[in-house]
Amino acid sequence: MTEQLLRAEGARPAVAVYGASGHTGRFVVRELSRRGFTTIAIGRDAGKLAAAGFPMGVRQVVASLEDPASLARALDGAAAVINCAGPFLDTAEPLVSAALQARIHYLDVTAEQGSAQATFARYASAAEAAGVVVIPAMGFYGGLSDLLATAAMGDWTHADEARIGIALDSWEPTEGTRVTGQRNTARRLTISGGTLQPLADPAPNPVWPFSEPFGAQEMVELPFTEAVLIGRHLQLSELHTFLNTAPLRDLRDTTTPPPVAVDASGRSAQTFLVEVEIRRGSTVRRAAARGRDIYAITAPLVVEAVERILGTETAQGGVFAPGALFDARNFLAALAPDLVLS
């Protein structure tokens, strides 16, 4: 199917989703369809694609990362591809390469620091030369915290410290989350002395005084891909990211079930709150966001990024952190009511 056919009769540009039949992928496909994009749902299993319950008009294509020819055919006519298939340590490299070959934009939703680091290191020059935008970690873990930190930073050119507190009332992990956890065993990195450094062992366990309904929460320092993204464009001496310990107990319990939908959108009842504090000297700036379902909120985050990339005719190519490419406050405000800012 050619690009001209996909754009016929006023249709919006086509966007491909790899890993479309997975839990997060289904949210992303629905969000693209809701916004009027022509959507190509790509997966390795025709049966899972057929059973995913995609909206009308979504094109389903079977392709494998191990078969570059099938992947090239699947991406034919797309203007961008969103990778929702973890572990991204395994999937990002072949899919970024395919996107650059096809000269289409690439985004993923990885929480794996090693994957995001590799994307910046390996593809920055090639993406710039191709005029292609590449954004790793454009999801709840990574992109959201980067945008909040950028918004809080405002007009400061540097800061002494950023602290990010993430609170979840529960965590019902997907199968993909569990598989990724088994694959992603590298020591976590955070920013210390202005550069990425290994996290202290044992990790600090402070108490974070969240606003209601969470209140004071026992935390553990646990950086995700926001450390990689923030380190690419914000000048910080220190960065510390903390997650409350209660959802980690859910995650580590092998009997914890996967997410259960409680509304027509497919969202679970899980709630989250992310609070960011940026300090320079004795002055502290803050930004916060709350919402429901960390998997579901990833869809408007990554699709809003696609919307903005495709709507900018003069977009510069390269590998970017979202806060370096977008107006962070404006971007976050556009996600209401899925995301409530304070």
Q: What is the DSSP string of 24-70?
A: HHHHHHHHHHHTTEEEEEEES-HHHHHTT-PPTT-EEEE--TT-HHH
How far separated are the first and last CA of the chain, in Å rounded?
45
Where in the chain is CATH 3.40.50.720? 13-139+298-341
Asked if 152 contacts 239 with a C-beta cutoff of 8 angstroms, the reply is: no
- In 3-state terms, the chain is what percent helix, strand and coil (to 5)? 40, 25, 35
Taking CA atoms, 244 is separated from 75, 148, 221, 222, in Å, by: 39, 18, 9, 9
Phi and psi based region of residue 10 (left: phi greater than 0; alpha: psi -120 to 50; beta: remaining): left
The torsion angles phi and psi of 46, rounded to 5 degrees, stand at -60, -35
- Distance, in Å, from the CA atom of 192 to the CA atom of 199, rounded to the nearest integer, reads 9
Taking CA atoms, 7 is separated from 33, 40, 77, 182, 214, in Å, by: 14, 13, 9, 41, 46
Alpha-carbon dihedral angle through residues 15, 21, 26, 30, given to the nearest 10 degrees = 50
What is the reported pLDDT for 10?
Answer: 52
- Distance, in Å, from the CA atom of 87 to the CA atom of 100, rounded to the nearest integer, reads 20
The torsion angles phi and psi of 234, rounded to 5 degrees, stand at -105, 135
According to CATH, the superfamily of the domain at 13-139+298-341 is: NAD(P)-binding Rossmann-like Domain (3.40.50.720)
Strand partners, 38: 14
Give the chain's length: 342
What is the reported pLDDT for 316?
Answer: 87
Phi and psi based region of residue 166 (left: phi greater than 0; alpha: psi -120 to 50; beta: remaining): beta
Strand partners, 239: 162, 191
CATH architecture designation of domain 143-294 = 2-Layer Sandwich (3.30)
The torsion angles phi and psi of 162, rounded to 5 degrees, stand at -120, 135
- Residue 275 amino acid letter: E
What is the reported pLDDT for 201?
Answer: 95
Per-residue pLDDT of the chain (342 residues; tens, 9 = 90+): 344 334 444 568 999 999 999 999 999 999 999 999 999 999 999 999 999 999 999 999 999 999 999 999 999 999 999 999 999 999 999 999 999 999 999 999 999 999 999 999 999 999 999 999 999 999 999 999 999 999 999 999 999 999 999 999 999 999 999 999 999 999 999 999 999 999 999 999 999 999 999 999 999 999 999 999 999 999 999 999 999 999 999 999 999 999 999 999 999 999 999 999 999 999 999 999 999 999 999 999 999 999 999 998 556 899 999 999 999 999 999 999 999 999
What is the reported pLDDT for 315?
Answer: 66
- Distance, in Å, from the CA atom of 214 to the CA atom of 168, rounded to the nearest integer, reads 9
- Residue 189 amino acid letter: L
- Distance, in Å, from the CA atom of 120 to the CA atom of 184, rounded to the nearest integer, reads 18
Token pair 């950023």 in the structure block, residue = 162
Where in the chain is CATH 3.30.360.10? 143-294
What is the reported pLDDT for 314?
Answer: 56
What is the reported pLDDT for 3?
Answer: 41
Asked if 293 contacts 268 with a C-beta cutoff of 8 angstroms, the reply is: yes
280 sits in which H/E element:
strand 271-280
* Among 139, 141, 176, 167, residue whose Cα is nearest residue 258: 176
